Structure 1
Amino acid sequence: MSANNPQEITTLLLVDDDPDDQEFFKLALHTIREHISFAAAGNGQDALDQLTTAVCTPDLIFLDMNMPLMNGLTFLQKIKASATLKHIPVIIYSTSDEPHEISMARSMGAVDFVTKPTKFEELCQLLREKLALHGSA
């Protein structure tokens, strides 16, 4: 997080195995906020590798549920068990709206659970709301 404003989100990580969803998300994010650092990982294992070797950790993680190698719940469990990573807020970002999955993710430490929008403006609005809610105007 920024030293001048500890609440400002300056770095965001998207963990999603769909390259099209990654590009859609990145374009929407940079449409609403140009000066935010964006990183993506194709699965939970890649994200965990990035987080454990990175000099800077993200201020917020958007996490897909269904991915190869390591799914979202397993990734969430691993970072919430890590003393150095557990402070990072995680928003589940999934096509699923299954009540059991939502309940499970929240009980494991996810701060929110959102269904992936299909329209660009809906994604922009969702990102505006989530960035405002989690510390960034």
Structure 2
Amino acid sequence: MEDRIICFLIDDDDDDQEIFSLALSNIDDNIHCITANDGIDALIRLNKEDAFTPNFIFLDLNMVRMNGRECLSEIRKIPRLDNIPVIIYSTSSEQRDILETKHLGAADYIVKPPSMALLEKRLEQVLRGYHT
């Protein structure tokens, strides 16, 4: 991965944000992670006129204020983000959640793995799948 990649993580858990950011930096120094604490905060930032356009959006399902499904639906209404992959990043491994979010426009689904090594491996698969 040669160019700087911006990943936007929407997750209300500070520890998950820290682990995710660390995993990305371990994969490649050119990956920059920006975080939002919930879907409402994320949408405010993404809808601003001078809003950044991330290369990837990672989205937790189980958040207060606005859950991941609602946030995903709203993200998919923003035309400039049409080609940006939204990847669900959740503790849920329920097939129903996977199918529902793919139907709503998610490009992929990552079940939060139990170790940093597994997270790095899975993130690398996803990132390389879009930047080959």
Match of 1:38 among 8, 33, 39: 33
CA distance, structure 1, for counterparts of residue 127 and residue 102 of structure 2: 19
Structure 2 unaligned segments of length 5 or more: list them: none
**Residue 97 (structure 2) aligns with:** 101
User: 1:9: how far off?
Assistant: 6.3
**Residue 125 (structure 1) aligns with:** 121
Instruction: List 4+ stretches of structure 1 deviating above 6 A.
Output: none
SS of the residue 2:66 aligns to? coil
CA distance, structure 2, for counterparts of residue 75 and residue 18 of structure 1: 16
Match of 2:61 among 58, 65, 73: 65
Moved more, 80-89 or 120-129: 80-89
Match of 1:25 among 20, 39, 58: 20
Q: Deviations over 1:79-137 (max 9, x none)?
A: 1122222321101110001111111100111011110012011111111111101216x
TM-score by length of 2: 0.92
Matched residue count: 130
Q: What value does the CA root-mean-square deviation take over the aligned residues?
A: 1.5
Alpha carbons of structure 1 residues 9 and 116: separation in structure 2 relative to 1, 3 Å = farther
CA distance, structure 2, for counterparts of residue 78 and residue 102 of structure 1: 18
The answer to whether structure 1 residue 134 and structure 2 residue 124 are counterparts is no
Percent identity over the alignment? 41
The one-letter amino acid paired with 2:107 is V
Structure 1 unaligned segments of length 5 or more: list them: none
Q: Deviations over 1:13-63 (max 9, x none)?
A: 011110000000101100111112210011111111111124421010111
TM-score by length of 1: 0.88
The answer to whether structure 1 residue 112 and structure 2 residue 104 are counterparts is no
Alpha carbons of structure 1 residues 86 and 9: separation in structure 2 relative to 1, 3 Å = farther
CA distance, structure 2, for counterparts of residue 23 and residue 133 of structure 1: 23
The one-letter amino acid paired with 1:20 is D
**Residue 16 (structure 1) aligns with:** 11
